[in-house]
Amino acid sequence: MKALRYYKQKDFRIETLAEPSPGPGEAKVKVKWCGICGSDIQEYRSGPQMVPTKPHPQTGMSAPVTGGHEFSGEITEIGEDITGFAPGDRVVVRPTLPCYQCHYCRQGRFIQCVVLATLGASSNGAFAEYAVVRGDCLYKLPDHVSFEQATYAEPLACAVRGVERSGMVAGATVVVLGAGPIGLLTMQTALACGASRVFVFETVERRRKLAEELGATASFDPREGNPGKLIASLTEGRRADIVFECAGNASALLLADSLSGRGSTILQMGVPSEPVEFPFYNLFMREKTIIASQGYVNDQFQTALDFIASGKVRCDPIMTSAKISLDDIVAKGFEALTGSKGHQHCKILVTPGMV
């Protein structure tokens, strides 16, 4: 079968591999669609980051591995000891592989697992015709949820965790920085969880429009005017209760400070690659809190799928640009997303089948 192998930065190759077969406790999934994640782009641009260069402590795998972790498909074969699933089932796959045995896993804090592995990074993923996955990673799709929509369960689960960790209460005033896929999903999750108004800051006009179409109260270009004063004027001087930083650059964290009010919380969901400066005096005097949120735990993946199934979060408008075939993934996927026009895309979905 064909698979995209991550060797190192700017070196991803389509190769032919033997079709994998499921061992005990595993299922073989025929991949329908798999999204290209921001983390895949990072891996291509400046990896290796998530892909291990020496054997991973849980899976024993290191580069090259098959990439791709935001995927849906159909079960074609099940190994021994799998119950509740059968060939023909439509599924979405949670790509995280907690060990369920370490101190953190025993407390349900699976994302903090000391040997956490992830499909598409430290175990083979789904930029391939088939993926073999552990039974605990399978989630059945309701009939009305399409395979394309289901690929959003993974990034949406990150948004669900971010909102849960923020401690947001109903009626909160929220700001989201960055209207890429994670920002747009976080914005909708905050609204679904009772935010009274959500203001979005984003430099790309097309993404600002998308944010408004998906329910943002208003959207602004952070380079224009004085964003802090603008938000103060819209919130009776109080500014935001919660700022979700989904842009991941140094200036975004400073912007988050100017947009957030007394006793507010800044949720760090973007990943600045360099150390950043932050005015801790403001944090102290206004008793602000900064919380990092990374990934999700198993329940949050199910919540994400429920949000998609109920229509509380809409993915279709985010699937703006491209659906491409696995054969074209390097040129029309990774090169397009890392090129000068990369920001014009929002999410690219890849299929090993026909586009």
Residues in contact with Zn ion by CB under 5 A are 37, 70, 98-99, 102, 105, 113
Closest distance to Zn ion from the beta carbon of 165 (Å): 17
Q: Which residue number, 98 or 270, has a Cβ lying nearer to Zn ion? A: 98
* Neighbour-count burial of 146, counting CB atoms closer than 10 A to its CB (0-12 exposed, 13-18 middle, 19+ buried): middle
Q: Which residue number, 69 or 239, has a Cβ lying nearer to Zn ion? A: 69
Closest distance to Zn ion from the beta carbon of 176 (Å): 18
Q: Which residue has the tokens 């014009």?
A: 344
**Cβ atoms of residues 63 and 48 within 8 Å:** yes
Dihedral pair phi/psi, residue 302, rounded to 5°? -65, -40
Closest distance to Zn ion from the beta carbon of 36 (Å): 9
Q: Which residue number, 199 or 301, has a Cβ lying nearer to Zn ion? A: 301
The C-alpha atoms of residue 39 and residue 104 are separated, in whole angstroms, by 24
Alpha-carbon distances of 328 from 4, 7, 280, 282, 292, rounded to whole Å: 10, 17, 46, 48, 35
What is the number of other CB atoms lying within 10 angstroms of the CB of residue 90?
18
Q: What is the DSSP letter of 194?
A: T
Task: Give the residue ranges of DSSP H helices in the chain.
Answer: 38-46, 103-106, 147-150, 153-166, 181-192, 205-213, 227-234, 250-259, 280-285, 298-310, 336-338
Q: Which two tokens stand for residue 316?
A: 């279709």
| Cα atoms in the 13 Å half-sphere on the side-chain side of 264 | 24
Q: Which residue number, 99 or 271, has a Cβ lying nearer to Zn ion? A: 99
Closest distance to Zn ion from the beta carbon of 293 (Å): 14
Q: Which two tokens stand for residue 97?
A: 């592989």
Q: Which residue number, 222 or 295, has a Cβ lying nearer to Zn ion? A: 295
Q: Which residue number, 28 or 94, has a Cβ lying nearer to Zn ion? A: 94
**Cβ atoms of residues 188 and 313 within 8 Å:** yes
The C-alpha atoms of residue 27 and residue 79 are separated, in whole angstroms, by 6
The C-alpha atoms of residue 39 and residue 41 are separated, in whole angstroms, by 5
Q: Which residue number, 96 or 166, has a Cβ lying nearer to Zn ion? A: 96
Closest distance to Zn ion from the beta carbon of 69 (Å): 6
- Note the residue count of the chain: 355
Closest distance to Zn ion from the beta carbon of 113 (Å): 3
Closest distance to Zn ion from the beta carbon of 100 (Å): 6
Closest distance to Zn ion from the beta carbon of 149 (Å): 15
Q: Which residue number, 22 or 98, has a Cβ lying nearer to Zn ion? A: 98
